[in-house]
Amino acid sequence: MSLNLKQNDLSHVVAADREHVWHHLSQHKQYETADPRVFVEGRGLKLWDANGKEYLDAVSGGVWTVNVGYGRESIANAVRDQLIKLNYYAGAAGNVPAALFAQKLIEKMPGLARVYYSNSGSEANEKAFKMVRQIAARHHNGKKWKILYRERDYHGTTIGTLASSGQPQRAEQYGPYPDGFIMVPHCLEYRKQWDVEKYGERAADAIEEVIRREGPDTIGAIILEPVTAGGGVITPPEGYWQRVQEICRKHEILIIIDEVVCGLGRTGSWFGYQQYDIKPDIVTMAKGVASGYAAISCTVTTERVFEMFKDAPQDSMSYFRDISTFGGCTAGPVAALENMRIIEDEGLLENTTRMGERTLANLNALMEKHSVIGDVRGKGLFCGAELVADRQSREPADEKLVQAVVADCLGQGVIIGATNRSLNGLNNTLCLSPALVATSNDVDRITDAIDRALTNVFGC
């Protein structure tokens, strides 16, 4: 299948984009000499741009979102039918898809009980932070108000979530930030900070050092990605999560798991935290919840957290005083219900595990061939290859060369990603996150493109 747009259709669309659209994460000066890329249509993992050029998308819509692939008519139909029936009602009332999706979601999340709806990952995390602050105010005499976050993790674009950004360049120039967000060290063993055998436990103990420094009675929660996404596809070292949980339980610190990227199958289980036997208090999710067919995010809590907001006769401000206008749009949960059915009925968790193993095997084979690959890591269809200038010293590869690899793949019609200019000197990891429907052929085509690109850019 390919598109057949007339030349003047193309020039009109591209001109409109160039003149009026402010692209995300873009230096617009580039469009003085090159056309902006405008996508028109997608099916499965395939995309077509306004020139009719076909691509294989290995990043699920640019930012690991389209988990079930493009062109899903059943989601579009479910959304259409629901919008005609009832499109929206917000505030202190429910709607049918919101209730049914919450029930289905909780079935997949033993130990959790309540779903709070909003529209984006940033918002879902803001809600979690507000819950922690209100619990501190109501139940801890204003203590336990600080929130820990981890170096290299990312939680969103709002001022509150940027205050918890472990990627310093993302937060530069938008301050000042609210107080009480405290950074703990990352856990990437390839970029060792301690020379010890049990690295996972040591990296977790570093969190406890921060807790003791700040005072355990000041810390209410920690927010962590189960597998760090944009910070370089960081899978946790063995023993890390178990120790993190022990420490949090000991100091009565709530665990917030940011599943905005990992949620809904990306790692081969419904949620990334389930790969590591984590027992979270709050889980946030967004991107894959409806695979980009509608805007939806969720902040999911245990009954224990929910109970802390129950009305108390003497405390008229005890309830969670928060709302999200479009948290009342039915398109999100109805798309999410159908998205979940597809993942289940098509066996996409199993496919993700199998295809993820194949991707890692292919990347490891490339590492034998290309000395520029220093480390390969990943879980499910969420994989990364860290590029280095020198394997011995592990000096990161030049960011411009990393971007040249991404551009070379694009020229070959394969869209891959890389850590996004947010980490000082460490924007050197190629990132792969194709839709969970990827086949062996898709995976091989993606890694073959990387193979050729590494040869073209590094000559080895």
Query: What residues make contact with ligand PLP under the rule CB under 6 A?
Result: 63, 120-122, 125, 154-157, 225, 229-230, 258, 260-261, 286
In the complex, what is the shortest distance from the CB of residue 315 to ligand PLP, in angstroms, rounded to a whole number? 32
Q: Is the peptide bond before 176 cis (omega within 30 degrees of 0)?
A: yes
Q: Phi/psi at 15 (nearest 5 deg)?
A: -65, -40
DSSP output for 115-162: EEEESSHHHHHHHHHHHHHHHHHHHSTT-S-EEEEETT----SSHHHH
The CA-based angle 330-333-339, given to 5 degrees, is 135
CB nearer to ligand PLP: pick between 374 and 384: 384
In the complex, what is the shortest distance from the CB of residue 241 to ligand PLP, in angstroms, rounded to a whole number? 17
CB nearer to ligand PLP: pick between 14 and 233: 233
In the complex, what is the shortest distance from the CB of residue 93 to ligand PLP, in angstroms, rounded to a whole number? 25
In the complex, what is the shortest distance from the CB of residue 304 to ligand PLP, in angstroms, rounded to a whole number? 24
In the complex, what is the shortest distance from the CB of residue 158 to ligand PLP, in angstroms, rounded to a whole number? 8
| In contact, 237 and 244? CB cutoff 8 Å | no
In the complex, what is the shortest distance from the CB of residue 417 to ligand PLP, in angstroms, rounded to a whole number? 11
Beta-carbon count within 10 A of 347 CB? 11
CB nearer to ligand PLP: pick between 121 and 396: 121
Q: Phi/psi at 451 (nearest 5 deg)?
A: -55, -55
CB nearer to ligand PLP: pick between 57 and 408: 57
- Position with the least CB separation from ligand PLP: 121
| In contact, 260 and 226? CB cutoff 8 Å | no
CB nearer to ligand PLP: pick between 126 and 386: 126
CB nearer to ligand PLP: pick between 122 and 419: 122
Q: Phi/psi at 354 (nearest 5 deg)?
A: -65, -50
- Directed axis angle between helix 199-214 and helix 240-250, to 10°? 20
